[in-house]
Amino acid sequence: MSLSIEQVAGRYRGIRCNHIAQGLADLLRQAEANEVSYLAFAEALVVHEQQQRNQRRIALNRRKAGFPVDKRLSEFDYRHQTTITKRQITQLLDFRFIDERANLIFIGPPGVGKTHLAIGIGQEAIDAGYKVLFTSALGLVEKLELAEIKGELKQQITALQKFDLVIIDELGYLPMSRQARYNLFQLVNALYEYRSVIITTNKEFTAWGEFFQDDSVVVPIVDRLIHHSHIFIMGGESYRLRQKRQG
């Protein structure tokens, strides 16, 4: 019985090996050209399927992360940082901090690259197989508030717990209402020692009372965020101001 490539590909589709099915013709040509053994060809099929599935999963996780811009660590300019080095950031890329449920906190004035670093680390984490979510503090507060109004706060927090790493950008730029503070505490408490968080903020912990407007909320939130954390105090000149002058 003579089989066509399409017939064999159809059988692979039947067992949900869609990437083998799609690339079967090319894989066969490569095997014939290189005169590989049957065993090597069998392995090549499996490797191809695994690689394509992994690439697809990474692409999907990158879309779900919700990064506002595509920032990479390779593009970060460490020359104008007075308090943080490339080695410090590179050491984080074994992602032990995620495996150990630790947090990263970047504190510094606007424009020194806090968000760039947070996104860059998030991108690397996705490439390493982790699920990441990026959200501004304002967007997060609004999402939690809407969920609370609908009586779905617990479900929303459960959904956020599915990410290995949650990045909360620009915490502290705007004051929070009493309900917003409560909702944020519920989230931080749920993530504590269960998932990792990256925080970027322009305020040191002693000034967090300014936007929480309630010291009784500040203490437990800060306590949970810094208990297992790496804290980076960033200095240097604003990138945006420097680029504007150079332009």
Count of positions (residues) in the chain:
247
pLDDT at 244: 43
DSSP state of 135: E
Q: Is 190 helix (H, G, I), strand (E, B) or coil?
A: helix
CA pair distance 184, 182, nearest whole angstrom: 5
Q: Residue 169 to residues 107, 136, 138: CA-CA distances in angstroms?
A: 11, 4, 9
Sign of CA dihedral 178, 184, 188, 191: positive
pLDDT tens digit sequence for 47-56: 999 999 999 9
Nearest alpha-carbon partner for 157 in 125, 189, 181, 198:
189
pLDDT tens digit sequence for 113-151: 999 999 999 999 999 999 999 999 999 999 999 999 999
The yes/no answer on whether domain 73-246 falls in CATH 3.30.950.10 is: no
Q: Residue 178 to residues 94, 143, 210, 212: CA-CA distances in angstroms?
A: 38, 15, 13, 8
pLDDT tens digit sequence for 82-103: 788 999 999 999 999 999 999 9
Q: How confident is the model at residue 214 (pLDDT cuts 50, 70, 90)?
A: low
In the chain, domain spans: 5-65, 73-246
CA pair distance 224, 168, nearest whole angstrom: 15
